[in-house]
Amino acid sequence: MPRRQATPDKPVRVGLVGFGLAGSVFHAPLIAATPGLSLTAIVTSNDERRRQAAREYPAARLVNKTEELLTARDALAVDLIVVASPNKTHVPLATAALRAGLHVVVDKPFAPTAAEARALIAEARRANRLITVFQNRRWDGDFLTLRRLLQENALGDALRMESRFERWRPVPKPGWKESGGEEDATGVLYDLGSHLIDQALVLFGPVTHVYAELERRRATSEVVDDAFVALAHASGVWSHLHTNMISAEPGPRFRVLGARASYTKFGLDVQEDALRNGARPGDRGWGEERPEQWGTLSDGETTRRVPTERGTYESFYARVAAAVRGEGPLPVDPEDAVATATVIEAALLSARERSAVPIEAAMTAPS
């Protein structure tokens, strides 16, 4: 039986796989808040999470296994699967969903390797289905502000960017995010680093060389918890990316040096905390920063506050809904996920060799 085609008068039915941090804090609220999408089913076998999901999304059916959604043809049937499960399951679950004729959103990291990312894209093309990656940080207010400043040439020619996503977690938390090896795509390089790399590539384009320092700093850490990655962009810009779990006092979220001016911004985008606290897109003040949180633009003589653009995580799923209906492009080109995975592989190679490596080395190195 062919899958139903979503139309403007029929919402896209969404099945959410996973109701941990990603599923409950990010995906479910944003899906539920998006016109044209219907959160039809939530997959979780955890009793506590099932109770939470039932309270917050009573119209959604709760199921234990993803397989139930892949074969459903009744009220449980869905058009789109969102994969928000542990990182090592992203590729097999996305592959199965595509083969079942469903569109797919994959939480970052899209895939552990560039080869697996390419294979997912090829599978989507064979199935004539859409696939994209949840890079919600493209709609952070500070990132939108920096992108606008660059487009306006407010800094002159960009020379160097420092970008940080740092946390203070001196004792590792139990769970899959802080266990496993490279094949499980865990640790800060795959997690927060996926955001930093994606943002750098969006702003300054492809890279030619990568240098990385990847360490396990906490005594009981099983995974990389301190990562520094330097990207030499073909455009001539250098990006210095920092992510770790050992920053009791984080550095600036962005510090971008240009030929005429620099932009400095402290503090993380407000939307994650808002979602954790129950706020939703459309609420008064959604995505807006207080003036004291704004970044500064300095030309060496004068310094002024730059109002932070309103963050709009809701834009991601609004564009997903439009793309499924054939009314616009995907919010994130899946080929961008291949580029991010390639940089991650180059960073792993650089850290092993303790030297900068050309990006081509990651493309040819044995997996």
What's the average model confidence in pLDDT over 71-91? Answer: 88
Which CATH architecture fits 12-136+316-329?
A: 3-Layer(aba) Sandwich (3.40)
Checking if the pLDDT of 3 tops 80, the result is no
Cite the beta strand spans of 146-219 per DSSP E: 158-166, 207-215
N-term to C-term CA, the chain: 39
What is the per-residue pLDDT across 131-172, written as a single tens digit (0 to 9) for each? Answer: 999 999 999 999 999 999 999 999 999 999 999 999 999 999
Q: How far apart are CA 305 and CA 296, in angstroms?
A: 4
Residue 23 corresponds to which tokens in the numbers above? 């599923």
- Residue 189, classed as helix, strand or coil, is coil
Q: How far apart are CA 295 and CA 253, in angstroms?
A: 10
CA distances 206 to 108, 210, 232, Å, are: 19, 11, 9
Checking if the pLDDT of 309 tops 70, the result is yes
What's the average model confidence in pLDDT over 50-69? Answer: 95
- State residue 2's pLDDT score: 43
- State residue 297's pLDDT score: 98
Q: How far apart are CA 141 and CA 137, in angstroms?
A: 9
Q: How far apart are CA 328 and CA 320, in angstroms?
A: 9
CB atoms within 10 A of CB 71: 9
- DSSP letters spanning 253-309: SEEEEESS-EEEE-S--SHHHHHHTT--TTSTTTTPPPGGG-EEEE-SS-EEEEPPP
CB atoms within 10 A of CB 48: 9
Tell me the pLDDT band of 182, cut-offs 50, 70 and 90: confident
Q: How far apart are CA 209 and CA 203, in angstroms?
A: 17
| CATH number for the domain running over 140-311+344-353 | 3.30.360.10
CA distances 341 to 93, 108, 110, 194, 252, Å, are: 18, 10, 8, 8, 25
Contact 311, 144 (CB under 8 A): yes
- Residue 132, classed as helix, strand or coil, is strand
Q: What is the dihedral of CA 209, 225, 192, 306, to 10 degrees?
A: -90
Residue 39 corresponds to which tokens in the numbers above? 């959160």
Segment among 107-116, 151-160, 181-190 with least mean pLDDT? 181-190
What's the average model confidence in pLDDT over 185-193? Answer: 96
Q: Could you tell me which of 193, 180, 145 has the C-alpha nearest to residue 289?
A: 145
CATH 3.40.50.720-classified regions of the chain = 12-136+316-329
- State residue 72's pLDDT score: 72
CATH 3.30.360.10-classified regions of the chain = 140-311+344-353
**What average pLDDT is seen over the chain?**
95
- State residue 10's pLDDT score: 86
Segment among 68-77, 215-224, 258-267 with least mean pLDDT? 68-77
Segment among 1-15, 47-61, 145-159 with least mean pLDDT? 1-15
Task: Return all residues near 28 (Cβ < 8 A) that are at least 6 apart.
Answer: 16, 19, 39, 42, 53, 56, 57
Tell me the pLDDT band of 1, cut-offs 50, 70 and 90: very low
Tell me the pLDDT band of 236, cut-offs 50, 70 and 90: very high
What's the average model confidence in pLDDT over 67-86? Answer: 87
- State residue 107's pLDDT score: 98
Sheet harboring 254-258: ordered strands across? 303-306, 295-298, 262-265, 254-258, 158-166, 238-244, 226-233, 207-215, 357-358
Checking if the pLDDT of 7 tops 70, the result is no
Tell me the pLDDT band of 8, cut-offs 50, 70 and 90: low
Contact 160, 237 (CB under 8 A): yes
